Homo-oligomer: A and B are copies of this chain.
Amino acid sequence: MSTTKTYRIAVIPGDGIGKEVTPVAQAALEKAADGVASFTYENFDLGAERYLRDGAILPDEDLERIKGTDAILLGAVGDPRIKAGILERGLLLKLRFSLDQYINLRPSKLYRGVTSPLANPGDIDFVVVREGTEGLYCGAGGAVRRGTPNEVATEVSINTAFGVERVVRYAFQLAMKRKKHVTLVHKKNVLVNAGDMWQRIVDKVGEEFPQVTHDYLHIDATTIFLVSNPSRFDVILTDNLFGDILTDEAGAVVGGVGYSASGNINASNEYPSMFEPIHGSAPDIAGKGIANPTAAVLSSAMLLRHLGFDEAAAKIDRAVEADIAELGSTKRTTEEVGRDILARI
């Protein structure tokens, strides 16, 4: 009789290559957790296709069912026919905000076997801890006299000590398990209200972690260091918008967002956390069976780690690392990469 616990996973394959890479991520999850955990899956038909078909974005009853699961695996969502903002705010951000996923966790690592666009990349291995439920992503803003020469449009960044402190503490805790260095990134010389609050909270929480050093960089300077000296970073701690920007640049620097996964984490476990590759639905290559499932597979590892299965997660990480080192530069189909990685788990 099996004594492994069963977890309910909400699966949102989404659109385009999202639907191609998600099954590979599930297969990796199964194999890595074999003997330690089992999973049941609930598929949710959400994303651009669904929206184009019947206009639904995230029905309340779906959101309620998702709230009852233990974790979410998301593929990718989007279609160029849909106006910017509709699915982002109605689905992706709605999930992040409704499920209070306040930690957006994005590791950046240059794998052996991957060519960085940098001439001398050095060792790159850092994590961006991005706040996920505040800042300019709140949707607080508006417009008057729309379409006239007197139009005024605003966007409001809302930042709370409550929201900042919890992500700051998470970053320091994470740094304790890593190289013990936190870099706060903001633009406190211009955004003086929010920037000053972030800095004060980092200074205060930092005192609880005497072994962790911390420094500060402006967002503009950080984009320089990501190109000129990415090895200097261990844990980058930043707000929602700056995190969005930095993680894409970081993805490029480590040789492509095809190797980058992310977790949208509710660290207090009131709601399920969500794991997804950073890449989009890639309509240009969708349906050809050539999408690289590596980032999706890595998001399964993040999911396992979140549920407490560090060893199973490490199995996936090691398999991916070995696969890339040996075969990273060979042209393979989605199925082939999946098969190769699975064989190593």
Q: Is A1 interfacial (CB-CB < 8 Å)?
A: no
Q: Is A308 interfacial (CB-CB < 8 Å)?
A: no
Q: Is A192 interfacial (CB-CB < 8 Å)?
A: yes
* From A151, A159, A252, A253, residue with most partner B Cβ within 10 Å: A151
Q: Is A332 interfacial (CB-CB < 8 Å)?
A: no
Q: Nearest 7 pairs between A and B by C-beta?
A: A223-B249, A220-B248, A151-B161, A84-B189, A153-B193, A224-B252, A155-B157
User: Which single member of B88, B161, B246 contacts A148 (CB below 8 Å)?
Assistant: B161
Contact A152 B158 (CB under 8 A): yes
Residues of B within 8 A of A88 (CB): 189-190
Contact B117 A227 (CB under 8 A): yes
Bound form: Cα–Cα A187–B240 in Å: 12
Q: Is A62 interfacial (CB-CB < 8 Å)?
A: no
Q: Is A142 interfacial (CB-CB < 8 Å)?
A: yes
Task: Considering the complex, give the chain B residue whose CB is closest to the CB of A251.
Answer: B224
Contact A154 B193 (CB under 8 A): yes
Could you pull out 18 A-B pairs where Cβ atoms are within 8 angstroms? A85-B188, A89-B189, A117-B227, A118-B118, A118-B227, A136-B157, A143-B193, A149-B161, A153-B159, A153-B196, A154-B156, A154-B193, A187-B244, A220-B248, A223-B223, A223-B248, A224-B248, A224-B252
Contact A190 B119 (CB under 8 A): no
Q: How does the 8 Å CB contact mask read for A219-238 relative to B, with 1 for contact and 0 for none? A: 11101101110000000000
CB distance from A82 to the nearest CB of B (A): 10
User: Which single member of B116, B120, B221 contacts A248 (CB below 8 Å)?
Assistant: B221
Q: How does the 8 Å CB contact mask read for A168-198 relative to B, with 1 for contact and 0 for none? A: 0000000000000000000111111111110
Q: A85-B190, A141-B191 are in contact. List 6 more A-B contacts (CB 8 A).
A: A117-B120, A117-B227, A150-B161, A152-B160, A153-B193, A227-B252
Interface size, chain A (Cβ < 8 Å): 67
* From A120, A154, A193, A241, residue with most partner B Cβ within 10 Å: A193
Q: Is A212 interfacial (CB-CB < 8 Å)?
A: no
Contact A159 B149 (CB under 8 A): no
Task: Considering the complex, give the chain B residue whose CB is closest to the CB of A244.
Answer: B220
Task: Considering the complex, give the chain B residue whose CB is closest to the CB of A136.
Answer: B191
Contact B189 A228 (CB under 8 A): no
CB distance from A151 to the nearest CB of B (A): 4
CB distance from A255 to the nearest CB of B (A): 10
Contact B154 A190 (CB under 8 A): no
Bound form: Cα–Cα A215–B248 in Å: 19
Residues of B within 8 A of A245 (CB): 219-220, 223, 245
Contact A194 B141 (CB under 8 A): yes
